[in-house]
Amino acid sequence: MFSLAQNLKSLMGNMTITEFSKKVGIPQQTISRYLLCQREITLENLVKIADYFNEEIDFLIGRKDY
């Protein structure tokens, strides 16, 4: 989960959690919990985030580095 939080923060850059949640269709509170490692991500949300950033799921969860 820690790798996901780090990678997501990096990919979001200066985008706020509110902006990002609206763009990907995931509630703001859920995104916040992912970033704080307080909630495990669902497959559905992982795919939404990977599609939005055009990244591989393996990269998002820390199984692959670039």
**pLDDT of 1 above 80:** no
- Give me the mean pLDDT over the 18-39 stretch: 97
- Structure-token pair, residue 22: 């609206």
**pLDDT of 24 above 80:** yes
Q: Is residue 9 part of a domain?
A: yes
The pLDDT assigned to 31 comes to 97
Residue 27: domain span: 2-60
For residue range 32-66, list pLDDT tens digits in order. Answer: 999 999 999 999 999 999 999 999 999 999 988 76
Q: Is residue 54 part of a domain?
A: yes
pTM score, two decimals?
A: 0.90
Q: Is residue 65 part of a domain?
A: no
The pLDDT assigned to 65 comes to 76
Spatial distance between the Cα atoms of 26 and 51, rounded to a whole number of angstroms: 13
Q: Residue 38 gets which letter from DSSP?
A: -
- Give me the mean pLDDT over the 6-29 stretch: 97
Spatial distance between the Cα atoms of 22 and 59, rounded to a whole number of angstroms: 23
CATH number at residue 56: 1.10.260.40
Torsion angle, alpha carbons of 21, 2, 42, 20, to 10: 10
